[in-house]
């Protein structure tokens, strides 16, 4: 059995569509679990009305992505767990085909609403890779085909099944054993970057993370959170916390300089984005 965990926050129509699509999966027994982060759009009422055999946890406040998923994984009964964004819609064969590969952790090919490829895997953060990202080096033609960037940009590198450092938490299939041995998401993260940090610990524990493009899902990236500013600031704050947790102090200082230079560069190149890049510069690190 696969326990499907969906975190919902004021995304009633998306969540219902997500549940309908995943319920149509072929050849697999499902346990559906929704963690509602204090929605005010009657999400819980509508979900209960349309889906009878479903588990729902109602949080009294928005507890964030990682904490909510941890809640779901703790009560999951399946041997496999699928973390699925409320704005991610699977195909009927997606889950079954990945299960047949017996991956420890797996991500599938993600598509945008128009059918174009969506970036969905990459490498763990370090100073060099963050410098590549902040200075746009990782998106230069030819270079992006080979560079070990935090976010793999080249479509050529999404053609083959392969071992990767991390896959996006929008669609993340894993064995229950992985959660039990690694403890799930670090709840100091609220949103953005927490799946990368967890997969770092997953790799340290000896499990493999795979990207497999043989099957796909459609992810409406940003639909559940259309404001892009929190994503940008959240990722940068995530790096600061990552370096505080895993690297020596001098690297944390170097990171701040790289981020500062990159944000200033973006303010000049995209003046309309100046406010949230300024916010990113002065954002406080997590404790």
- Per-domain boundaries in the chain: 2-123+164-219, 229-282
What's the whole-model pTM score?
Answer: 0.91
Among 41-45, 47-51, 268-272, 277-281, where is mean pLDDT lowest? Answer: 277-281
Q: Are 149 and 122 in contact (CB under 8 A)?
A: yes
User: Tokens 């499902």 — which residue?
Assistant: 30
Quote the pLDDT of residue 287. 41
What six digits make up the tokens of 173? Answer: 């299939």
Compute the distance between CA of residue 239 and CA of residue 134 in angstroms, rounded to an integer.
12
Q: Which string of DSSP letters, residue by residue, matches 203-239?
A: HHTT--EEEEEEEEEEE-TTTTS--SHHHHHHHHHHH
pLDDT one-digit tens code per residue, 177-209: 999 999 999 999 877 889 999 999 999 999 999
Higher pLDDT, 285 or 145: 145
Contacts of residue 168, defined as CB under 8 A and 6 or more positions apart, other chains included, come to 107, 110, 120, 121, 195, 219
% residues pLDDT > 70 (the chain): 91
CATH topology of domain 2-123+164-219: Spore Coat Polysaccharide Biosynthesis Protein SpsA; Chain A (3.90.550)
Check pLDDT > 80 for residue 230.
no
pLDDT band of 42, cuts 50, 70, 90: confident
CA within 13 Å, CB half, 19: 28
What six digits make up the tokens of 218? Answer: 């459609």
């Amino acid at each position: 059995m696969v326990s499907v965990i969906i975190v919902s926050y004021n995304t009633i129509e998306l969540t219902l569509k997500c549940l309908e699509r995943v319920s149509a999966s072929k050849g697999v027994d499902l346990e559906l679990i929704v963690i509602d982060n204090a929605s005010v759009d009657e999400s819980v009422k509508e979900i209960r009305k349309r889906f009878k055999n479903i588990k729902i946890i109602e949080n009294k406040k928005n507890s964030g992505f990682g904490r909510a998923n941890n809640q779901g994984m703790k009560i999951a009964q399946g041997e496999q767990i699928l973390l699925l964004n409320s704005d991610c819609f699977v195909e009927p064969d997606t889950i079954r085909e990945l299960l047949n590969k017996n991956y420890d952790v797996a991500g599938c090919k993600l598509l945008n609403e128009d059918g174009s490829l969506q970036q969905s895997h990459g490498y763990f953060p370090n100073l060099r890779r963050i410098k590549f990202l902040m200075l746009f080096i990782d998106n230069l033609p030819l270079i992006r085909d080979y560079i070990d960037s935090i976010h793999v940009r080249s479509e050529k590198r999404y053609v083959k099944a392969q071992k990767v450092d991390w896959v996006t938490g929008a669609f993340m299939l894993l064995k229950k054993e992985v959660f039990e041995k690694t403890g799930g998401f670090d709840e100091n993260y609220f949103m953005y970057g927490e799946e990368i940090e967890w997969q770092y610990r997953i790799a340290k524990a000896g499990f493999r993370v795979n990207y497999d493009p043989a099957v796909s899902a459609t992810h409406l990236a940003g639909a559940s959170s259309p404001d892009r500013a929190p994503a940008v600031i959240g990722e940068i704050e995530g790096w600061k916390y990552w370096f505080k947790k895993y690297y020596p102090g001098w690297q944390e200082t170097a990171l701040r300089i790289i981020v500062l230079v990159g944000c200033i560069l973006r303010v000049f190149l995209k003046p309309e984005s100046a406010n949230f890049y300024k916010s990113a510069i002065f954002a406080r690190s997590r404790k």
